[in-house]
Amino acid sequence: MSAADLGWIWPNHDISIPEQLRRGARAMLIDTYYAEPDPGSPFPFKFRTIPDRTQGSSANATMYLCHTTCGFGASELIPEFRKIRDFLARHPREVMVFVNQDNVTPSDFARAVEESGLIDFTYKGSTDVWPTLQQMIDSDQRVVFLAEAQAAGVDWYHRAYGGPMQETDYSFTYSPSKWATDPPGSPVYAGVDKLTDPNLLGASCTPNRGGSTGGLFLMNHWVSGSAGKPVEPDPGMAEIVNTREALVNRARACETLRGRLPTILAVDFFGIGDTVGAARELNGVEAEAFLELAKPKGITVKAGRTGVFRLVLSNIGTAPASGVRFCASVPARLAKPRTCVTAPPVPAGGKSAASLRIKTKPTARGRATIKFTTSAAGDTLRTSAALKVIPAKLRR
C-alpha cells in the first residue's frame, strides 16, 4: 500500500492497490495503525501514529494503512478495503490473501472488514486443511486474512506464524553509498547476490517466522538499504531481483530446501519486472485473458424512444478473449426484459465496445437500474446503470 502515485515518502511501489489488482497482485502484506491528524507534523502527511494497539478508542483515532509511521504516508483503511471489495465483486473468480502487520486490535480490524463489505468474501473455513481455489470460488469465500501478532476473538482472522504460514528471511541489504564504486561480488551486493546467485539461493530460503510448519509459504524477495539504516526502497534493485528468471530460480531453490513451492511471492515495486509471469510459470498456467468492464453512464429517454448504453470491455490479460456477449436486463414495465449482442474476440491488451439499444414502451414511466452482464473467455462480469423514462409529451 506504500505507493509513489499516492505521494508517500520512501514508497515500496510505484502503483497503489487498485492498479496492483488490475495487474495481477493477489496477495498483500499490509500494515495497519491507529492515527490522528497532527497539523504540526514535520512530514508531508500530517498524521500522528498511535503505536499502542489498545488505544484505538482515542477520540480522533482512525485506522490507516501506513508503513513504519503514518507521517510517511497514510491511506484510511476502510475506503481502501472498499476498493478491494469492489474489485472482487467485479471479478468473482479471484482469490486473495492478506498478511496484516497488525497495530490495531482484532475487533477493530474485523469492524473495518465488515464495514467495507469485504466480509462478504471472507474465508471462514479451516487453515489446517485448505480447500481448492475452485471450492473457495464456488462458496464465494475468496479472501484469507492473517495477522502477524493478534487475531484472537475473530473466527475468520488467523495468526499467521506458528499457524497457517511459514516464510523466508526478509533482511537482504545493500549499501547505496557504495553501489556505484564497488564491483559485483563485493559485500555491498550481498543482498542482491543472495536473491540471484545460483550458489547462494539455498541460504536465502532457510526458515524464518513460522519455522517449517504451515500450509502457506511466503517468499520475501526484496532488497533494502544497509542494515540498521532505512533508506528509500530502490527501484533499481527491483529491476535486478524482480525478473522472471530470478523469481523462478529462487522459488525452485526454496522448493528444494523446504519441500514446497512458495504460495506468495512478496516483492517491492510490483510494476517492475515480471512477478505475475513468474507466478504463472511456477503454477504451470498458460497465458489467459483478464477482463475489465467499464460502468456505463446513466441515461434519460422519452417513453417510446430508444435509449443506448455503450459498454466497453478491456482485456488486460495475456491472451485473447473469445465468445464475447453483452446483455442487458430491463424491468418489463419499461421495455423488453432482455437484450443481447455479440462482439468479436478481444485481443490481449485491447478493447471491445458494444451499444445496447433499449426500446422503451410508449407507456413506460419512472426510473430503474439496468443490469448488464458480459461473458467472454469463460468469465462473467456484471455492472449496472440508471435508466430514467419520462413521458413523451408532458401535459399541463
Judgement on whether residues 103 and 179 belong to the same structural domain of the protein:
yes
Total count of domains within the chain:
2
Task: State the Cα–Cα distance between residues 152 and 113, nearest whole angstrom.
Answer: 15
Judgement on whether residues 198 and 302 belong to the same structural domain of the protein:
no
The CATH number of the domain holding residue 347 is 2.60.40.10
- Specify whether the CB–CB gap between 346 and 270 falls below 8 A: no
| Neighbour-count burial of 344, counting CB atoms closer than 10 A to its CB (0-12 exposed, 13-18 middle, 19+ buried) | exposed
Q: Kindly state the helix (H) or strand (E) to which residue 167 belongs, with its residue range.
A: strand 165-167
pLDDT tens digits, residue range 254-267? 999 999 999 999 99
Using alpha carbons, list the distances in angstroms from residue 234 to 99, 161, 262, 272, 318.
Answer: 23, 28, 24, 11, 28
Judgement on whether residues 115 and 145 belong to the same structural domain of the protein:
yes
Q: Which residues contact 241 (CB under 8 A, 6 or more apart)?
A: 192, 195, 196, 221, 222, 223, 247, 267, 273
Q: State residue 349 phi and psi, 5-degree precision.
A: 80, 5
Judgement on whether residues 105 and 239 belong to the same structural domain of the protein:
yes
pLDDT tens digits, residue range 93-133? 899 999 999 999 999 999 999 999 999 999 999 999 999 99
Task: State the Cα–Cα distance between residues 58 and 53, nearest whole angstrom.
Answer: 11
Judgement on whether residues 88 and 46 belong to the same structural domain of the protein:
yes
Q: Given the DSSP bridges, would you call strands 62-65 and 299-302 parallel, antiparallel or unpaired? A: unpaired
Judgement on whether residues 231 and 314 belong to the same structural domain of the protein:
no
Indicate the residue among 283, 318, 334 that finishes a domain. Answer: 283
Q: Given the DSSP bridges, would you call strands 324-329 and 338-343 parallel, antiparallel or unpaired? A: antiparallel
So what's the pLDDT on residue 175?
Answer: 59
Structural domain including 69 reads 4-283
Q: Is residue 141 pLDDT above 70, yes or no?
A: yes
Residue 396 lies in a domain: no
Q: How far is CA 274 from the centre of its chain?
A: 16
Nearest to 104 by CA among 166, 164, 34, 4: 34
**Helix locations, the chain, DSSP H:** 17-23, 77-90, 106-116, 133-139, 190-196, 235-241, 244-258, 275-283
Residue 153 lies in a domain: yes
- Specify whether the CB–CB gap between 153 and 108 falls below 8 A: no
Task: State the Cα–Cα distance between residues 394 and 380, nearest whole angstrom.
Answer: 40
> Confidence band (pLDDT; 50, 70, 90) for 322?
very high
Residues of the chain with pLDDT > 70, as a percent, come to: 91
Q: Model's pTM, two decimal places?
A: 0.86
Residue 78 lies in a domain: yes
Residue 91 lies in a domain: yes
Q: What is the rounded average pLDDT for all residues in the chain?
A: 90
Judgement on whether residues 37 and 178 belong to the same structural domain of the protein:
yes
Indicate the residue among 258, 283, 308 that finishes a domain. Answer: 283
| DSSP bridge pairs for 167 | 218
Residue 343 lies in a domain: yes
HSE of 286 in the Cβ direction (CA atoms, 13 Å)?
Answer: 4
Q: Is residue 181 pLDDT above 70, yes or no?
A: no
Nearest to 272 by CA among 96, 25, 7, 6: 25
Task: State the Cα–Cα distance between residues 301 and 170, nearest whole angstrom.
Answer: 59
Residues of the chain with pLDDT > 90, as a percent, come to: 74
Q: Which three cell numbers stand for residue 178?
A: 557504495
Judgement on whether residues 317 and 243 belong to the same structural domain of the protein:
no
Q: Which three cell numbers stand for residue 240?
A: 535486478
Q: Is residue 310 pLDDT above 80, yes or no?
A: yes
Using alpha carbons, list the distances in angstroms from residue 316 to 20, 23, 72, 321.
Answer: 12, 8, 32, 10
What is the Cα Rg of the chain in Å? 25
Task: State the Cα–Cα distance between residues 185 and 164, nearest whole angstrom.
Answer: 37
So what's the pLDDT on residue 53?
Answer: 59
Judgement on whether residues 275 and 296 belong to the same structural domain of the protein:
no
So what's the pLDDT on residue 224?
Answer: 82
Judgement on whether residues 333 and 379 belong to the same structural domain of the protein:
yes
Nearest to 123 by CA among 112, 137, 109: 137
**What mean pLDDT is predicted for residues 290-298?**
93
So what's the pLDDT on residue 315?
Answer: 94
Indicate the residue among 283, 305, 332 that finishes a domain. Answer: 283
Q: Is residue 187 pLDDT above 60, yes or no?
A: no
HSE of 340 in the Cβ direction (CA atoms, 13 Å)?
Answer: 9
**What mean pLDDT is predicted for residues 17-24?**
94
pLDDT tens digits, residue range 41-79? 877 778 888 876 565 555 557 999 998 889 889 999 999
Q: At what angle do helices 77-90 and 106-116 cross, to 10 degrees?
A: 50
Judgement on whether residues 272 and 205 belong to the same structural domain of the protein:
yes
Q: What is the dihedral of CA 37, 40, 46, 48, to 10 degrees?
A: -60
Q: Given the DSSP bridges, would you call strands 27-37 and 47-50 parallel, antiparallel or unpaired? A: antiparallel
Q: Kindly state the helix (H) or strand (E) to which residue 262 belongs, with its residue range.
A: none
Judgement on whether residues 298 and 197 belong to the same structural domain of the protein:
no
Q: Which residue has the higher pLDDT, 333 or 178?
A: 333
